[in-house]
Amino acid sequence: MHYKLALIGFGNVARALARLFIRKHDLLKQQGITFSFTGISTGSHGFAVNPNGLDIQKALELVESGKDISSLNNSQFPIPDSLAVIRHSSADVMFENSPVNTQTGQPALDHIRTALNLGMHAITANKGPVVHGYRELTALAKSKGKCFGFESTVLGGAPVFSVYREAFPLAELTSIKGIFNATTNVILTLMENGEAYDDAVKYAQSIGLAETDPTNDVDGWDAAIKVAALVTVLMDTPMTPQQVNPTGIRGITPEMIAKAKAEGKRYKLVCSAEKVGDKVEASVAPQLVDSTSPLYGMMNSSTGVTFRTDVILDYSITLSEKPGMKGGPVETAYGLFADFVNAVKK
Ligand SMILES: NC(=O)c1ccc[n+]([C@@H]2O[C@H](COP(=O)([O-])OP(=O)(O)OC[C@H]3O[C@@H](n4cnc5c(N)ncnc54)[C@H](OP(=O)(O)O)[C@@H]3O)[C@@H](O)[C@H]2O)c1
């Protein structure tokens, strides 16, 4: 079966995904799956649609040399925006990888609604539409017999949602705890090794982990939206990052870190959610942990989550630190790719 693919957002993750598709071409073919890219949209590098298949290598080259991709467009319709790319790409699968909007989930919500309404599978690494549209988008996908996939949104591509949903039927999830943000974990590790906060942030930026504006990470919003996504999906309780109301790591001083170290403890940006009666209480805040905590040994860019259920007490998934502490577009791309393979095999 041949699948036409549309890439909405063509940044680090979507380009890693395109390369992964190219690399897995032969393996996919052995499974009876072939593909072509028929639509690409960006924020400031133009739009391109070709229902007969775009030259994806050329698109990668153009964007990576800072150029516009519009020269690849040969649609007979005007393509002024991402929604037009989705509509005119004739795609079977739309990958949504535009920047996250923690406040409203837009424009990703509209991209996914449009794709599902047109009968496409919609797969995303963007946490915005999960926390702001999970129930609606899941119901829409079901009514169309398509998939709304978002495995990549938490723990950058390591399977979390699918593992829990497949392996824990009818278990009651009572709490979630973990470290969900690699950037702050790297900064705290460096501070423990004597670096100043500002230098640690600069280092995280220099290896491509922290963004130019690190606010989203250091103030806890990236972690908060991940907690909200897990609670929304796995505890069936809609939650926004605003409800998590995170506290970040800016208030942690070298003196606090030295005192903790002397006591055999360390600070971690701990993410947690717990069922209390009918409600879920969630938080993101720096906490002191000691060597009895599974979080204590998670250093540098390592992240992980522990699920507590009414039957199996503590079940943990850990993503170990990456060499050079780099960020994870390739791992994130794999989560999208896995969602694709699972969607088309269903
Ligand atoms: N990086 C990771 O390891 C990682 C991990 C987990 C989840 N995610 C999520 O994955 C998504 C993509 O991340 P990324 O690292 O690839 O980001 P990125 O490198 O900043 O790429 C974002 C892409 O979206 C485009 N874009 C901007 N506004 C758009 C709009 N309104 N419509 C369509 N496209 C638009 C950008 O185009 P221009 O460059 O032309 O502006 C760029 O191609 C985000 O939601 C992020 O939170 C990323």
pLDDT interval class at 326 (50, 70, 90): low
Whose structure tokens read 């269903």? 346
pLDDT at 203: 92
> Which residue owns the Cα nearest ligand 1 atom 30?
43
Q: Look at residue 129 and tell me whether its pLDDT is greater than 60.
A: yes
Structure token pair of residue 229: 């996504």
Q: Please name which of 328, 132, 97, 295 lies closest in space to residue 228, comparing C-alpha atoms.
A: 132
pTM of the model: 0.95
Q: Is the CB of 332 under 6 A from ligand 1?
A: yes
Q: Please name which of 116, 113, 115 lies closest in space to residue 132, comparing C-alpha atoms.
A: 113
Q: What is the average pLDDT across 227-245?
A: 97
Q: Please name which of 145, 138, 89, 88 lies closest in space to residue 112, comparing C-alpha atoms.
A: 138
Q: Which residues pair with 35 in a beta bridge?
A: 3
Backbone phi, psi, residue 181, to 5°: -120, 115
> Which residue owns the Cα nearest ligand 1 atom 20?
11
Pairing of strands 314-319, 265-276: unpaired
Q: Is the CB of 90 under 6 A from ligand 1?
A: no
In a 13 Å sphere around the CA of 248, the CA atoms on its Cβ side amount to 16
Contact 128, 108 (CB under 8 A): yes
Q: Is the CB of 328 under 6 A from ligand 1?
A: yes
> Which residue owns the Cα nearest ligand 1 atom 28?
43
> Which residue owns the Cα nearest ligand 1 atom 41?
43
pLDDT at 208: 76
> Which residue owns the Cα nearest ligand 1 atom 27?
43
pLDDT interval class at 217 (50, 70, 90): very high
Looking at the chain, the whole-number percentage of residues with pLDDT higher than 90 is 90
> Which residue owns the Cα nearest ligand 1 atom 6?
156
Give the DSSP letter string of 308-338: EESSS-EEEEEEPPPGGG---HHHHHHHHHH
Task: Quick: pLDDT tens for 165-191.
Answer: 999 999 999 999 999 999 999 999 999
Max Cα-Cα span within the chain: 68
Q: How far is the CA of 13 from the centre of ligand 1 (A)?
A: 7
CA–CA gap between residue 251 and residue 159 (Å, rounded): 32
Q: Look at residue 41 and tell me whether its pLDDT is greater than 60.
A: yes
Q: Is the CB of 324 under 6 A from ligand 1?
A: no
Task: For the chain, list the domains and their CATH numbers.
Answer: 2-156+329-345 (3.40.50.720), 168-323 (3.30.360.10)
Residue of 97, 209, 211 best suited for mutating to test ligand 1, as the one with most atoms within 8 Å of CB: 97
Contact 89, 122 (CB under 8 A): no
CA–CA gap between residue 13 and residue 3 (Å, rounded): 20
> Which residue owns the Cα nearest ligand 1 atom 26?
43
Q: How far is the CA of 191 from the centre of ligand 1 (A)?
A: 29
Q: Is the CB of 152 under 6 A from ligand 1?
A: yes
pLDDT at 86: 98
Backbone phi, psi, residue 38, to 5°: -115, -5
Q: Is the CB of 45 under 6 A from ligand 1?
A: yes
pLDDT at 323: 63
Task: Quick: pLDDT tens for 264-288.
Answer: 999 999 999 999 999 999 999 999 9
pLDDT interval class at 324 (50, 70, 90): low
Q: Which residues pair with 282 in a beta bridge?
A: 273
Q: What is the average pLDDT across 63-77?
A: 96
Q: What is the average pLDDT across 224-239?
A: 97
Q: Please name which of 66, 74, 19 lies closest in space to residue 42, comparing C-alpha atoms.
A: 66
Q: Is the CB of 156 under 6 A from ligand 1?
A: yes
Q: How many CB atoms lie within 10 A of CB 300?
A: 18
Contact 336, 150 (CB under 8 A): no
Q: What is the average pLDDT across 138-151?
A: 98
pLDDT at 211: 80
Q: Which residues pair with 273 in a beta bridge?
A: 176, 282
CA–CA gap between residue 49 and residue 80 (Å, rounded): 11
pLDDT at 273: 98
Residue of 332, 336, 337, 339 best suited for mutating to test ligand 1, as the one with most atoms within 8 Å of CB: 332
Q: Is the CB of 43 under 6 A from ligand 1?
A: yes
Backbone phi, psi, residue 40, to 5°: -135, 135
pLDDT at 327: 53
Task: Quick: pLDDT tens for 107-124.
Answer: 999 999 999 999 999 999
Q: Please name which of 346, 340, 342 lies closest in space to residue 92, comparing C-alpha atoms.
A: 340
Give the DSSP letter string of 97-108: -PPP-TTT-TTH
